[in-house]
Each structure stands twice: as C-alpha cells, then as structure tokens.
Structure 1
Amino acid sequence: MYRPIVILLAIAVFVGAGMVLRTLALRPQPPLASAVERLPLDEVALADGLAQALRIRTISHAQDAPIDDAEFAAFHALLAQRFPRTFARLDVERIGAWSLLLHWRGEGDAAKPALLAAHMDVVPVEPGSETRWTHPAFAGVVADGYVWGRGALDDKSSLLAQLEAVERLLAQGYTPARSIYFAYGHDEEIGGANGAARIAQTLRDRGVRLAFTLDEGSAITRGVVPGIDKPVAAIMAGEKGYVSLRLTARAPGGHSSMPPEDSAIVRLAQAIERLAARPPPPRLTPPVEAMLVRLAPELPFGARLAIANRELLSPLLLRQLGRSPVTAALTRTTQAFTLVHAGVKDNVIPTEAYALVNYRLLPGTSIADVQAHVRSVIADERIELSVEAGFGNEAPPPSDPDAPEFALIARTVNEVFPEALVLSGIILATTDNRHYTDLRDQAYYFSPFVYTLADGARIHGTDERIGIGAYADMVRFYVRLLQNVGDDG
C-alpha cells in the first residue's frame, strides 16, 4: 500500500532536483564586451545644439490638424547647418511633407543595411500647465546640468545624437562597410501615416531589405526594476498593437419620472462590469521570457526558481507579475475604459449610451481576437461592437532577443555603459518602428539615455529634460554603434 506513495515521492524528488539544477544554472553572465575608452566630447557644445532644436515647435497636434510648415522648415535648416558633412556626404531625401530619409552608403555593401529611426515631432504642452514648467517648454534652456524642453527625451535627443555621431565619424574619415539608413518621421506622435509609413513605402519600392531597425521605446533605467541596484538597459524586441472598441447600447428613452424597465445606460454598465471582471488572460511572449531569464540571476532564489521552471510554474509566475501594473502589462493585452457618454439632461432618459475601451495588444493577439473576446464576455447581442476609427494597428511579430543583431546592440551597450545589465522585453506603447515590419529581419527598441521613475511623468508631461552628461553619452553610444554596425558589414 505504501509503494505508490514511495513512487510519488521519488518523482517529486527527481522533478525537484531538476528544478533546482535549472535554477542554479541561471547565474550572472559576463558582459558581451569590455568598456571602450571614454570618447572625449565637448558636452557644453552638444547641449547647446540640442537646445537649439528644442526651441523649434515641431508639434503634432492631431491627425487632422494643419502642419506648421515654417517650424519644420526651420528644423530642417538647423539640421543642415549643424551637420554640414552629413548633408553633403549622405543621400538626403525629403519624404512626404517633412520627413527625412538619409542613406549612408557602405563601401562593401555585402551585408543587409541597418536602419536607425527617430522622430522630429513632439506633443503639445497641456493647456494650463505652462506655468508649472521650471523653464518654458520651447525655450531650449541649458541650466542646472540639464537641457530643458519638449522633445529632450521624446525624441529629438535621439535624432540629434545620431547625427552628431555621423558628423563626427565623417570628420574622422570613417565609411561603414555596410549601408546605414536614418529615418526621421515628422508625425510619429499622431501615427506616422505620412512620415514613417511613406519612408517604408519608398524603401519597399526600391527593394531594400534591412538586417534590423532600431527605434525609440526603451532606455537605461535606474531604480525602476525592484531589487536591482545596477542600471538596466532594456533593448526591447517587440511592441504592442493598439485598438479602441466602441460599445453602444440603445433602448427606449423618455421622461425620468416614468423610467422603463430597459435602459441603455444600465445595459452598457453591465457590459463594462463583465469586461472588467474578465480581462484578456495573461501569457508569456518570447521577448518577455528572454527578459525574465536575463533578469533572473540578479533575483532571489524563489524568483529564479519560478523563472527557470516557468513551464511548470507559469501560473505562479504570471500571478506575481500581475501584481504590478507595469509587469502585468508585459504579460497581457490590456484593456482600459477611457470614455463613457450618455444623456443630455438629468431628467431625460437617453436612448443611446456608448463607451470606448482601449486595448494594447500583445504580439500574437489580433484585433479580431480582441473583438471575439469582448463579444464572448459581454454575451449580449444588443450591445453593438465596432472598431473606433483612427489610429490602430496589429502588434508586429516580435523579434529574436538571441539574434546576432541584438548581440551587436548589447555589445555596444556594454562598451559604453559597462555597469548596465542588458535585458529584453516588449514596449507597452507603439512607435514608428512598426511601419518597417515587412522590410526587416529584426526590430529593436532602445534609446541610450538614463531613465528614472521620476522621468516617467516628464515624457509628454511637465519639465521634460535630459542631463548634459546623459546626452553626451547618447552621442558616445551612437558613435560606437555606427562603428560596430558598419564594421559588421
């Protein structure tokens, strides 16, 4: 009678031993490269160049709003004036209204080209918040160790730092072995339809196939990952999709003194309540699994145990990740109830009520999947379901965090930021990078600036700024990256 128990205990010991062995195998890995000699730069001059760019109001207000051509023309003129070698030596094209495509032709061109992306447009300042800025949002002030202004983090610093790197390398007589493209959209903040999308179509028409693209979306964080003291460089390997669904309920209206049994508001509220109780289920995507595996050696034994044996312990792992809004968003298609509308007067029962629900889609989840989930959960055919017109897209397929192109970027990070722990994952928003999906083998998301929790409110918020030294390090990163990319050709 004891034999089955003994067998079960033996199996448990065997499985447990395997779990422990897999856990112990998650040890810290040595960096992919040694630090290179710190590149001497005139950091004050670099800061002044960025400040000049921040003074130009290249604002994207809305998809149907007019473009301020004079501001974008001034921005183009500034780039040409500040980077004369770049605009003389590289092929420079204006695409669409104000986007730019630069082509640095390689000497050998045996390898597929790479593409670095950034955008020149910025979001407007929230009306009424102007006085809360330490320095005016478009004054481009250099003070207290920072460059202040809208676009300092999102995303003019990336654009200017890339061109500063190209200009410096050209001055040294450097030419890459492989071609490198630079794609600078003018409408990323409103979807990129007339910027990056048209640049992508231009490359598509020319039969260009890219080894990889690198765009914004992540950074080097400090104090953001709980329990990790060292800076974390998150080179993301995917982004989410985006769609808003409109839920509409209709019912007889009338006078509030004689309410009918049926009500559009109540019917809509019931649908919202059901959706809130059953959000899309969590799951691990390959980039997030790679992130956890890279992070595990820095975590306590219990966390390493769950990550190393995630095939068996995924429910526990997903439950733990679900406790924080940030990590929960890494593991599920999120739903957010963002707008509800009904009625015109307090004593009139409305005949219609609607709500907008915004979804950020995990890679591998389609808009049709989300619609099916919503329809199943609501279980009420009287609720009309439609896709809200405007900005929306499927999530592009995730890229490989173990690909040679990822290793090349990670090696560059180790060379310039030797203390940083390199991770992967997916970004929780959308970028221009998605427009190049069918043109590249791999796509990554990373901007080499240091980002803290306090900086989270500055992007698209008040007092956007970047440290003078941090911006100089961005230039150092792009110099080294362009050398690594070019030499790899």
Structure 2
Amino acid sequence: MELGCRNLVGYCGGLCLLYFLFISSISPTAAVGEEDPSSSSALIISRFQKYLQINTAHPNPQYYEAVDFFISQAKSLSLESQTLEFVKGKPLVLLKWPGSDPSLPSILLNSHTDVVPAEHDKWANHPFSAHIDSHGNVYARGSQDMKCVGLQYLEAIRRLKASGFQPIRSVYLSFVPDEEIGGHDGARKFAESDIFKDLNVGIVLDEGLASPNEHYRTFYAERSPWWLVIKATGAPGHGSKLYDNTAMENLLKSIESVRRFRASQFDLVKAGLKAEGEVISVNMAFLKAGTTSPTGFVMNLQPSEAEAGFDIRVPPNGDPEALERRIAEEWAPTSRNMTFRFKHKVSVFDKSGRPVLTATDSSNPWWILLEEAVIKANGKLGKPEIFPASTDARYFRELGLPAIGFSPMANTPILLHDHNEFLNKDEYLKGIEAYESIIKAYASYVENPRSAGSKDEL
C-alpha cells in the first residue's frame, strides 16, 4: 500500500512537470494564436479561397458580393468601413484603422477587386473554384492579380491587432473596381475626389508582379499607355491592278516601319541593356480592312480604307515628343494619305510637369522603410523596376504622391491574365508576414521634426 502511494505521487508529479514544461514552451505569438483561432493557417487560406471564389471577372463582375465579403472582414477586425459609388454599380470599399495621431499623413493600401475573364475550357479546374492541388498551389483567376494582395493587407492587420500593436498613423485600405478596364470609374475618380483629399495620404502601396526567383519585385513607375489608330485611304480598284498609294499598300508600309522600331526596342531588352519597363513597346492590336460580303470578303476589290491599332507603352524616362514626331513623319505621313488618332493617351508627366515616378533612394523615407521591413521579414528585394504595363498607382503618382508597386510573390511564375493562374499557399502566408512588417514600420513612422522643417523650407 505504501509503495502504491509513492507511485501515485510520482505519477502526479510527473504530470505536473510535463504540464509546466508545455506551458513554458508556448511563445507569446502561439498564445495569441490559441486565443484567436482565426489566425490559423487553415482559416487564413480558407478566407483567401472564399474571396477568390467571388466571380468579379468582366464584363459582369459581382462587385456587391465582394463588398459584402470585405464589410464582414472589417467587422471581424473592428475596422471602420464605408462603401462609395462614384459610378452607379461600381462600388468601392474604404476601410480605416485609426492612428493615434490623425495629423500625420496616412497610409493607403490599395487593391482592385475586378479580374480579367478566363477561358474556362483552358483551365485544369474551374477558374473560380480556388482549387488547391497536392503541392499547395491555389488555382484561381485573381490569385496573383491581385486578390492575394488585398486580403494579405487584412491578414497582416489581423496579426498586428492580435499582437496589441497600435498605429500612430491612420491606415486606409481601398478595394476599387474597374482596374482591369482602365480604372477610370474606380481609382481615378477616387483619387480626384474630395473624400480622397480628406484622407491626407502620405504613401500608397499598390500591386506589383510575381518573381520567378527569390527576390521580391518592386515598382516605382510604370509605362504610360498610348492606344494609337492609324488610318490609310486610297482609291478603290480591281483586285488584279497594280498601282501606287492604295490604302492597303500604304498601311503595310507603316506596319513594317512600326515592326522595325519594335524590333530595335526589343533588341535592347534581349541584350540585357534595358529592362522591359525601360523601353517603348509597340504591339499591333487589330487590323481592319476589306469589303465584306455575305460569304466573307470581296476578293477582287482593293478597299479604299484600312486601319490598324497599336498598343504603345511609354516609360517615364522616354521621349514622348520624339515618338509623336516618328508617328507623324514615318508611321502615318500625310504624304501617303494617312492620318492617326489616339483612343487613349496617358501623359508621362504628373500635374507639376515632372516624370511620373517615385524616388527609390534616401530622399524617400517610405522606400527605405519598405526595404528594411522586407529584410526584417526575411525577404529579399530585387532592383526597383518600371512596371511594364499600367496599374491604378498611376492615378496617385499623378497627384505627386509616392506610390510603390509590391506583390510579395517570390519563386512564382508570372501568370497574371494567363490560364491556370495560381499562387502557392506558403508564398501567400510569407507575403502576409512581409506586409505585417511593412504596415508596422509605416504606421509607426514619425518624421524627424528638424528634417520636416528643412523640407518645408525647401
């Protein structure tokens, strides 16, 4: 009997010791995770899937479903929210995490809710199923462009709130419509509004691109779109006749001239002398000519008109005046009965007449803070780039605001607008850590009063 009691006491003591060691091994972060089950990786990925499953593809994006989703997320995080409609049927969600010093310029985390259409039959799984394969890849339209970023902002704030962090600067999150069709009824109207002015924004973060290697990509500018239409006219003629200055002949000469220019720019990229975002790109978007008939085209008639459309992208360090001269003198000369017009033309200069770009040196504290924050999150940054296409960031840069394009997706193939677009769930989770570090650094930043005074004097 005495021996049994000793064994029982020893058994209980062992249990107590094991319990003590278990409790001691739990870190503060893990303890927070115990109190907040919503921070588990499985639930984080589940929320990502839920957002991806909302079909916000053009031409009929389900914007209001996305609005409901973000309002529910805002409530779960105790964030202030409002829904704005600068254009009916195109809602914009604006969330706010108030800072302790509202006099300081705020932080804007921008993302767009719309995505491009997907050819369902070209995908291995339905593009809005958010299917996860055995490698942890989440397949969905918008997984890279850019639903990942919008939700990573929120997940980063969830982690910061759980840790007890209190921002000094106010943090705003904007979920805007229509970026994929130009952003005119979304970010543009938002940036031009009195509501935006009242936010007192000091820095904007927007989308970037995936990186096939271990370095995250960052973007400080982007190429401006010029959508050019060249038209040639001439007398119609029999399909067998050879004569000068037909509409088709003159247009083909122009197309050949454009092709040579395109090749010269592309050669700079292939030789490694310039990055893709640093050259002027030209790609033919359409060719319209011919006289139609019930069975197709009239084959023995040379048409009197012919048109071609070109998507041109001009970097902020390009020479727009030289390009316009080239268009007028070489690509569409009046001497060949040619004219041209722009369907869309965005200036490479901001409202102050300066190139639309954001500094990426010590003159820009937001850039330095981002660099340091990414390193703290065990990430690596590549050389800052000019975005090869266009994003909503341009509307904020045009106001003279610093805007940085950044989508934390390393070791990931670039699949935006492609079939079977995906993002690995581990990369998605790492991206949340990167944003947690960045938002914390930005929301804690207070300028040196002396530096601020010097800046005002300048």
Query: Quick check: TM above 0.5?
Result: yes
Q: Which residue among 222, 228, 249 is the counterpart of 1:266? A: 249
- The answer for the alignment partner of 1:51 in structure 2 is 49
**Residue in structure 2 matching 1:323, options 257, 271, 277:** 271
Deviation at 1:134, TM superposition (A): 2.3
Mapped partners of 1:237, 1:175: distance in 2: 28
Q: Secondary structure at the match of 2:219?
A: coil
Change (3 A) 1:320 1:438: closer
Change (3 A) 1:383 1:165: farther
User: In structure 2, do the counterparts of structure 1 residues 376 and 279 end up closer, same or farther at CA, with 3 Å as the change threshold?
Assistant: farther
Confirm or deny: 8 A CA contact 1:255 1:348 kept in the other structure: yes
CA gap of 1:198–1:319, structure 2 versus 1, over 3 A, is: closer
Query: Superposition pairs for residues 100-249 of structure 1, below 5 Å?
Result: 100-126=93-119, 130-144=120-134, 145-203=136-194, 206-222=197-213, 231-249=214-232
Residue 432 of structure 2 corresponds to which residue in structure 1?
475
Secondary structure of the equivalent of 1:450?
Answer: coil
How much has 1:168 moved relative to structure 2? 3.0
Aligned equivalents of 1:189 and 1:275: distance in 2?
Answer: 26
Partner of 1:42: 40
Amino acid at match of 1:177: I
TM-score, structure 1 as length reference: 0.74
Q: Note if 1:398 corresponds to 2:357.
A: yes
List gaps (5 residues or longer) in structure 1.
1-36, 62-66, 223-230, 283-317
Distance 2:399 2:195 in 1: 7
* Deviation at residue 462 of structure 1 after TM alignment: 1.2
- Find the residue that maps to 1:236 and give its secondary structure: strand
Cα deviations across residues 450-469 of structure 1 (Å, max 9, x unaligned)? 253xx23x321111111111
Pick one of 59, 71, 75 that aligns with 1:80. Answer: 71
The separation in 1 between residues aligned to 2:124 and 2:196, in whole angstroms, is: 47
Percent identical among aligned pairs is 23
Q: Using a 3 Å threshold, how does the CA distance of structure 1 residues 394 and 217 change in structure 2: closer, same or farther? A: farther
How many residues are treated as equivalent by the alignment?
393
Which structure: larger Rg? 2
| Equivalent pair of 1:188/1:431 in contact (CA under 8 Å) | yes
CA 1:273/1:167 → structure 2, altered by over 3 Å: closer, same or farther?
same
Normalising by structure 2, report the TM-score: 0.78
Cα-to-partner distance string for 1:253-281 (whole Å, 9 max, x where unaligned): 02213444331111111122223334598
Q: 1:413 maps to which residue?
A: 374
Alpha carbons of structure 1 residues 320 and 57: separation in structure 2 relative to 1, 3 Å: closer
**1:336 aligns to 2:283 (yes or no):** yes
C-alpha change, 1:210 and 1:366, in structure 2 (3 Å) is farther
Equivalent position of 2:308 in the other structure? 355
Whole-angstrom distance in 1 between the partners of 2:381 and 2:444: 24
Secondary structure, in 3 states, of the residue corresponding to 2:333? coil
**C-alpha deviation, 1:205, in angstroms:** 6.1
- Given that 1:235 and 1:410 are in contact with CA atoms closer than 8 Å, whether structure 2 keeps it comes out as no
- 3-state DSSP class of the match of 1:122? coil
Question: Match of 1:485, as an amino acid?
Answer: Y
User: How many angstroms apart in 1 are the aligned matches of 2:268 and 2:313?
Assistant: 20
Change (3 A) 1:233 1:48: same
Q: Which residue of 1 aligns with 2:451?
A: none
Residue identity in the other structure for 2:431? M
Q: Report the Cα distance in structure 1 between the residues aligned to 2:268 and 2:328, rounded to whole angstroms.
A: 28
- Alpha-carbon distance change, 385 to 185 in structure 1, aligned in 2, over 3 angstroms: farther
Contact (CA 8 Å) 1:142, 1:148: kept in 2 or not? yes
Unaligned runs of 5+ in 2: 1-28, 34-38, 292-297, 350-355, 447-458
Q: For residues 363 and 214 of structure 1, what CA distance do their matches in structure 2 show?
A: 19
The alpha carbon displacement at 1:214 in A equals: 1.1
Q: What is the letter of the counterpart of residue 332 of structure 1? A: V
| Inter-CA distance 376–451: structure 2 relative to 1 (3 Å threshold) | farther
Give the counterpart letter for 1:76 in structure 2.
V
Is 2:375 the counterpart of 1:422? no
Structure-2 residue corresponding to 1:463: 420
How many angstroms apart in 1 are the aligned matches of 2:177 and 2:427?
24
Classify 1:42/1:208 alpha carbon distance in 2 versus 1 (closer, same or farther; 3 Å).
closer
1:423/1:395 Cα in 2 relative to 1: closer, same or farther (>3 Å)?
same
Correspondence for 2:442: 485
Report the CA distance shift for 1:332/1:413 in structure 2 as closer, same or farther (over 3 A): same
Structure 2 distance, partners of 1:257, 1:321, is 42
1:90 aligns to what? 80
Pair 1:142–1:109, CA change in 2 (3 A): same
**Higher relative contact order by CA 8 Å / sep ≥ 6: 1 or 2?**
1
